[in-house]
Amino acid sequence: MDGVHDMGGMDGFGKVEPAANEPVFHEPWEGRVLAMNRTMGATGAWNIDMSRHSREVLPPHIYLAATYYQKWFLGLRQMLLDRGLIDADEVASGHALRPGKPLKRGPFTLKDVARVLTRGKFGRPTNTEAKFKIGDRVRCKNIHPLGHTRLPRYVRGHVGVVELNHGTQVFPDSAAIDGTENPQWLYTVVFESRQLWGADADPTIKISVDAFEPYLEPA
Amino acid sequence: MTHKDDDHHHGDHEHHHDHGSELSEMQLRVRALETILTEKGYVEPAALDAIIEAYETKIGPHNGARVVAKAWTDPKFKQALLADASKAVATLGHVSRVGDHLVAVENTPTQHNMVVCTLCSCYPWEMLGLPPVWYKSAPYRSRTVKDPRGVLKDFGVTLPKDTQIRVWDSTAETRFLVLPMRPAGTEGWSEDKLAELVTRDSMIGTGMPKNPSEIA
């Protein structure tokens, strides 16, 4: 979706403000939100693409005003409600009013912790041939999917060069809908700054994205 | 009582006072949600505690710093790291559970690398821990792909005008680790001592390693 989360190249947000000695979590609730999101994901309630999408669909004025973990909280609660894992009257009362539903991989307990601290694997074998090879010129399609996608707006319609091939991986656009992995070839595609930002752009700069094959066409 | 640290942390940091009521409301809402999930038997609070503890104490930039210091002292490891970072880091075993999708990119006298995620907040957690607020902020996510030199200026970093800059937007599950240049004047230093020079920001590309005199 062409949402406000797709920020690459937007103006007006001001300076970056690095902070010295920042704590990992600024408030204890931030850690609880992160941990709840990870653990419920690990029970099979959702995948990482669904989790990302739950934040992308927040209304723009909320997305922009909320802190990072406030967005995570809002997305988390909505995903739980959407799946019927909790109900609105329970949120209102602050307690479970009925028993839990069965979870695909069962409840998350202490012995499952190592699993969420290990980075997931997204490579999936396919019997398809890569359409592009390193060095090929490709154009990012001018597409505007209404759901989740990982092709940022600022590269759509622009020509770049394939630099790395990462094999076939879970396709987020499909996985975010219903968990269908629909693996696709993934490439790093690099662009000249002037290709993206016009003749006045600084020519010493190059920008790359990782782009799935369905995002690309020969150029 | 699963939030054993709440009272201890509350008010610990000056900046909380600015919007205390909003934060305490968040605290209540989050606590309520955790209560529901726990009562329904979905999650164990002790498991949440363990995850939080891991990110607060075990997984952080020191993981990445070890990899960088090793690459600075061991040319074979450096070669392996640049060829296949996931594999190379896995050979260190105890450093981190890094998975399959890590790519290390090398800074040289002619090219500087920077990492961003314009769409959300993708970041090499296993190498650097959880990302700082600025990395997830709108200013960083919007400007880095368009005006990386301007962003570097916000970090007090100025590169020569003819240095090539490469920005890596983390739009898939690939995670990027910048391999900064080894500072001059560190000949003969041990890996452990070199690791002390490696800052988090130098592995994102928004900073440089510390000057040797800073830790001597």
Cβ B144 vs Cβ B117: under 8 Å:
no
CA dist B111 and B166 (Å) reads: 7
Are B111 and B197 in the same domain?
A: yes
Are B37 and B77 in the same domain?
A: no
Domain A28-117, CATH:
1.10.472.20
Indicate the burial class of B42 (C-beta count within 10 angstroms; 0-12, 13-18, 19 or more). Answer: buried
User: Could you say which of A29, A169, A207 has the minimum Cβ distance to residue B172?
Assistant: A169
Instruction: Count Cβ atoms below 10 Å from residue A167 Cβ, excluding itself.
Output: 16
Q: What is the pLDDT of residue B13?
A: 44
| Beta carbons of B42 and A112 less than 8 Å apart | no
Q: Is residue B3 part of a domain?
A: no
Q: Is residue B1 part of a domain?
A: no
Are B84 and B182 in the same domain?
A: yes
Q: What is the pLDDT of residue B2?
A: 41
CA nearest B54 in A: which residue? A117
What backbone torsions phi and psi does residue A78 show, to the nearest 5 degrees? -65, -40
Q: What is the pLDDT of residue B19?
A: 52
Cβ B121 vs Cβ B174: under 8 Å:
no
Are B38 and B138 in the same domain?
A: no
Q: What is the pLDDT of residue B23?
A: 58
Q: Is residue B5 part of a domain?
A: no
What backbone torsions phi and psi does residue A88 show, to the nearest 5 degrees? -60, -35
User: Could you say which of A16, A19, A103 has the minimum Cβ distance to residue B151?
Assistant: A16
CA dist A188 and A208 (Å) reads: 6
Q: What is the pLDDT of residue B215?
A: 85
Are B36 and B127 in the same domain?
A: no
Using the CB atoms, write b or e for A181-199: b if 16+ within 10 Å. Answer: bbbbbbbbbbbbbebbbee
Cβ B89 vs Cβ B69: under 8 Å:
no
Q: Is residue B29 part of a domain?
A: yes
Are B101 and B34 in the same domain?
A: no
Are B100 and B186 in the same domain?
A: yes
Catalytic residue among B96, B122, B170, B202: B122
Q: State the CATH number of the domain containing residue B89.
A: 3.90.330.10
CA dist A178 and A148 (Å) reads: 11
Are B44 and B16 in the same domain?
A: yes
Q: What is the pLDDT of residue B95?
A: 61
A55: which chain B residues are within 8 Å (Cβ-Cβ)?
120
Closest by alpha carbon to B183, among B168, B194, B167, B169? B194
Please report the DSSP string for B41-53 in residue order: TSB-HHHHHHHHH
Orientation angle between helical segments B75-83 and B61-73, nearest 10 degrees: 120
CA dist A47 and A212 (Å) reads: 18
The reply to whether B29 touches chain A by the CB within 8 Å rule is yes
Closest by alpha carbon to B177, among B105, B121, B109? B105
Contacts of B8 (CB under 8 A, 6+ apart): none
**Topology of domain A137-218, CATH:** SH3 type barrels. (2.30.30)
The position carrying tokens 């759509």 is A156
How far away is chain B from the Cα of A11, in angstroms, using its nearest Cα? 7
CA dist A41 and A61 (Å) reads: 26
Are B24 and B81 in the same domain?
A: no
What backbone torsions phi and psi does residue A18 show, to the nearest 5 degrees? -65, 145
Q: Is residue B4 part of a domain?
A: no
Helix ranges restricted to H, B11-131: 20-39, 45-53, 61-73, 75-83, 85-91, 125-128
The reply to whether B6 touches chain A by the CB within 8 Å rule is yes
Q: What is the ipTM, given to two decimal places?
A: 0.98
Cβ A142 vs Cβ A156: under 8 Å:
yes
Cβ A206 vs Cβ A191: under 8 Å:
yes
Cβ B193 vs Cβ B215: under 8 Å:
yes
CA dist A94 and B25 (Å) reads: 13
Sequence ranges of the domains in chain A: 28-117, 137-218
Q: Tell me the CA distances in angstroms from A83 to A36, A77, A78, B179, B213, one per residue in order.
A: 15, 10, 9, 42, 56
Per-residue pLDDT 10s for chain B (216 aa) are 344 444 444 444 444 444 556 558 999 999 999 999 999 999 999 999 999 999 999 999 999 999 999 999 999 999 999 999 999 999 987 666 777 899 999 999 999 999 999 999 999 999 999 999 999 999 999 999 999 999 999 999 999 999 999 999 999 999 999 999 999 999 999 999 999 999 999 999 999 999 999 986
User: Could you say which of B27, B118, B206 has the minimum Cβ distance to residue A6?
Assistant: B118
The reply to whether B48 touches chain A by the CB within 8 Å rule is yes
Angle at A68 between CA A66 and CA A70, to 5 degrees: 55
CA dist B212 and A211 (Å) reads: 39
Residue A82, token pair as written in the block? 């959407």
Q: Is residue B7 part of a domain?
A: no
Per-residue pLDDT 10s for chain A (219 aa) are 999 999 999 999 999 999 999 999 999 999 999 999 999 999 999 999 999 999 999 999 999 999 999 999 999 999 999 999 999 999 999 999 999 999 999 999 999 999 899 888 999 999 999 999 999 999 999 999 999 999 999 999 999 999 999 999 999 999 999 999 999 999 999 999 999 999 999 999 999 999 999 999 999
CA dist A122 and A181 (Å) reads: 9
* Bridge partners, residue A185, by sequence: A168
Long-range contacts of A61-64 (CB under 8 A, 24+ apart): A63/A3, A63/A4, A63/A5, A64/A4, A64/B138
Residue B21 falls in the annotated catalytic set: no
Are B66 and B25 in the same domain?
A: no
CA dist A189 and A136 (Å) reads: 9
Closest by alpha carbon to B176, among B118, B136, B128, B111? B128
Are B134 and B35 in the same domain?
A: no
* Bridge partners, residue B119, by sequence: none
What is the span of the domain harbouring residue B67?
A: 60-215
pLDDT tens track for A68-124: 999 999 999 999 999 999 999 999 999 999 999 999 999 999 999 998 998 889 999
Helix (H, G, I), strand (E, B) or coil at A117: helix
Residue B120 falls in the annotated catalytic set: yes
How far away is chain B from the Cα of A208, in angstroms, using its nearest Cα? 5
Cβ A19 vs Cβ B133: under 8 Å:
yes
Structural domain count, chain B: 2
Are B34 and B113 in the same domain?
A: no
Q: Is residue B207 part of a domain?
A: yes
